Amino acid sequence: MCGRFSLTEEVLNLQRGFEFYYADEERPRYNIAPGQQILTVIEQEGARIGKSMKWGLVPSWAKDLKTGYKMINARSEGIETKPSFKVPFKKQRCLILADGFYEWKRINEGKQPYRFVMKSGLPFAFAGLWDVWDKGEEPLVTCTILTTAPNKVTEKVHDRMPVILNEEDYDFWLNSSVSETVQLSKLLVPYDEGAMEMYPVSTLVNSSKQDHPEMIKQLNSL
C-alpha cells in the first residue's frame, strides 16, 4: 500500500515538468497523509489541469464520507470489476504527483520507516482514480492511489508498491476517451527498480502532524 508520501518541489517546476495549468499555490509537503488535500493532474478538453483533491476515494454512490477512510489505495488486480473503482477506472483517471513515498519495515525495535525516491531526484506520478461525491453541502472531489506488486527495491520493505507511471504513458492514462481496460491495465505494473532507491528516515514521519524537512533526511545510523 501507500500510506504516506512527499511532494517538496516548487509548483512552477512541477507545472513545467508535467505540463499542466494550475492557478493556486502549493507549499512543500514532507509527510502527506490520508484525508489531506493533494495535488493531482487531470485532463479537461485536451489540456492537463492541476486539481486539489482529498486523498481517500468516496464513490459517487456512497451514502456517507466514511468510505473514503478505507479507500486511500486500490489494488490494480481486477480493478475493472470492483464496484467502487470500475467507473473511475474507465473515465476518471489522474496523476498524483510525488517526489517520494514511505513504507515501514518491521524490526526488533518496532517499525522503521523508509523513503523511496527516484535516483534522478525528480518528481514522478502515481496512477490515480478520482470521483465526485455530491450528497453534502458542496461537491467533494476525492482520489485513490493504485497499487501493484513490489519491485526488487520495494519488496525489501513491503509486499505492495504504488503504481508509478512512465512519462510516455501520461497522455494515454489521462485521456478520458480511452476506456480500453485491457490496455489501461498493462500500465499497472511495478516500476523499474533500476531507477529507484530507498533509505531510512526518522520515525517522526509516523505522526501525520509532523510535516517539515526533517522527514526526508536520511538516517546515518542504520
Can you give the pTM of this predicted structure? 0.96
Q: Is the pLDDT of residue 1 over 90?
A: no
CA–CA distances in Å: residue 23 to residues 10, 49, 200: 13, 9, 35
- State the cell numbers at 59: 464513490
**Secondary structure class of 193 (helix, strand, coil):** helix
Task: For 20-75, write each residue's pLDDT tens digit.
Answer: 999 998 999 999 999 999 999 999 999 999 999 999 999 999 888 877 668 999 99
Task: For 106-117, write each residue's pLDDT tens digit.
Answer: 888 789 999 999
Task: For 75-88, write each residue's pLDDT tens digit.
Answer: 999 999 999 999 99
DSSP conformational letter for 10: -
Q: In percent, how much of the chain has pLDDT > 70?
A: 98
Q: Is the pLDDT of residue 92 over 80?
A: yes
CATH 3.40.640.10, applies to 4-216: no
Phi, psi of 162 (to 5 degrees): -65, 150
DSSP conformational letter for 208: T
- State the cell numbers at 87: 467507473
Active-site annotation, residues: 2, 103
> Confidence class of residue 221 from pLDDT cuts 50, 70 and 90?
low
Q: Is the pLDDT of residue 128 over 90?
A: yes
Going from N- to C-terminal start, the domains of the chain cover 4-216
Is 90 within 8 Å of 182 (Cβ atoms)? Answer: no
User: Cα angle vertex 137, ends 134, 143, to 5°?
Assistant: 40
Q: Environment class of residue 15 by beta-carbon count within 10 Å: exposed (0-12), middle (13-18) or buried (19+)?
A: middle
- State the cell numbers at 135: 450528497
Q: In percent, how much of the chain has pLDDT > 90?
A: 86
